[in-house]
Amino acid sequence: MDFMTILQLSDSSLRLATPLLLACLAGLFSERAGIFDIGLEGKMLAAAFFSAAFAFTTQNVWIGLSVGIIASVTLSLLHGLASITFRGNQLISGVAINFLASGMTVVIAQTWFSQGGRTPALSGPARFEEFVLPGASSRIRDIAQQDPLGQVYSELLSGHSILVYIALLIVPLTWWILYRTRFGLRLRAVGENPAAVDTAGISVVWLRFAAVMICGVLCGLAGAYLATGLSAGFVREMSAGRGFIALAALIFAKWRPWEALGACLLFGFLDAVGNRFQNIELLTFLNLVFLFVVLVGAIMLVLRAIAIARGKGKTRALTGPAIALGVGLLFSIGLPMLDPDGGLSATLNNIVLPVQFMQALPYILTVVILAGFVGRAIPPRAGGEPYVKER
């Protein structure tokens, strides 16, 4: 596998990870405030439809984006009404929102456009254009002639829609809001112990509504990116379970923003691999996975080393990434040395992973994580429980 293929794979991983990331951060705000939200999927779908519909009719993608966000926030408020005001079951409310979105989008699309539940194809100003960073080339022929560093810049970093960069910026922003502002402290507290927040004289209801509305805005961005950035127009059920993968990524990331970025990139990567290779040989797949592990391990190692150098971390935190890096390197360098005649590689290559396995992998991984075999995921303590004020 050559360098360019890996770059293209990383490029599409980033694209496919973006809607997951936005939805995942949306869920993070909501669940950190103690409101479980399995309606991420429905909100994304509604936003996807309304952004595409309004972007088409007004031929302005920004109006489409705003209407998409409004649609998603409306569903968020419905969720808030059911689960905060009327103290209903948050899971049931989420299920209802998913069905409502998947039914309403097609019903309205059929009424407005009569194209079998889709919107007309978007083009020009009705879509988010590729955003070429300064000094980058956009044509594949020019990119191929650049040096490796330039290729990384032009192929991987440049040429995404603006929403991809916004999504990447929202990660540090989320971290800052949650861990460095008063609002974030209260938001986290209301998900762990709402009674304490109430005793301090802060409105639990208001905080939770604020969290749910932030969740709506982010889901709106995710949905709009699906319909106007990733593809050109709305088709029925186009969110295709991404809301649930985002939920899986959220658990994978243990409800933390930076880890959410990592988890979404992993799931985006799996999606990209599944798209590129229909049936993939086990060896190729393992190579790719370990390459990913090496990359993530190296990045984490550097980040943690910087944190320790600034006196903010423990040396123990280095072990995880170091082990990942070691195992990854051992595999990618060690396997060819251990296996000079290629017998093992041939055996591994005889095992072909079906594409369905690749598609199911994010869900299987989530179940493994949830089972607590790879580090335990502990949700916010008051999650899912309606708060009843003492009288």
- Residue ranges binding another protein (CB under 8 A): 38, 78, 81-83, 86-93, 95-100, 102-104, 106-108, 110-111, 117, 236, 241, 244, 247-248, 251, 354, 356-357, 359-360, 363-364, 366-367, 370-372, 379
Radius of gyration over every alpha carbon of the chain, rounded to an integer in angstroms: 22
Closer to another protein by Cβ: residue 33 or 300: 33
Closer to another protein by Cβ: residue 194 or 383: 383
Cα 202 from Cα 186, distance rounded (Å):
8
Residue 103 belongs to what H/E stretch?
A: helix 90-113
Tokens of 366: 């989530």
Is residue 84 within 8 Å of residue 35, measured between CB atoms?
yes
Closest distance to another protein from the beta carbon of 172 (Å): 27
b/e burial code for range 139-160 (CB count within 10 A of at least 16 → b): eeeebeeeeeeebbbbbbebbb
Closest distance to another protein from the beta carbon of 79 (Å): 8
Strand runs labelled E in the chain: 130-131, 160-161, 280-281, 352-353
Q: How many residues in the chain?
A: 391
Closer to another protein by Cβ: residue 10 or 93: 93
Is residue 260 within 8 Å of residue 59, measured between CB atoms?
no
Closer to another protein by Cβ: residue 233 or 274: 274
Residue among 171, 205, 159 nearest 33 (CA) = 205
Is residue 307 within 8 Å of residue 47, measured between CB atoms?
no
Closest distance to another protein from the beta carbon of 94 (Å): 8
Closer to another protein by Cβ: residue 7 or 282: 282
Closest distance to another protein from the beta carbon of 131 (Å): 32
Closest distance to another protein from the beta carbon of 182 (Å): 30
Q: Residue 17 — φ and ψ, nearest 5°?
A: -75, -25
Cα 37 from Cα 102, distance rounded (Å):
16
Closer to another protein by Cβ: residue 49 or 290: 49
Closest distance to another protein from the beta carbon of 111 (Å): 5
Cα 80 from Cα 83, distance rounded (Å):
5
User: For residue 114, how many C-alpha atoms fall within 13 Å in the half-sphere facing its CB?
Assistant: 0
Closer to another protein by Cβ: residue 91 or 162: 91
Beta bridge partners of 281: 352
Cα 216 from Cα 218, distance rounded (Å):
6
Closest distance to another protein from the beta carbon of 60 (Å): 23
Closest distance to another protein from the beta carbon of 349 (Å): 19
Give the SS3 label for residue 131. strand
Closest distance to another protein from the beta carbon of 142 (Å): 39
Cα 32 from Cα 348, distance rounded (Å):
43
Cα 141 from Cα 154, distance rounded (Å):
11
Q: Residue 281 — φ and ψ, nearest 5°?
A: -75, 150
Closest distance to another protein from the beta carbon of 259 (Å): 17
Closer to another protein by Cβ: residue 278 or 347: 278
Closer to another protein by Cβ: residue 110 or 287: 110
Closer to another protein by Cβ: residue 11 or 37: 37
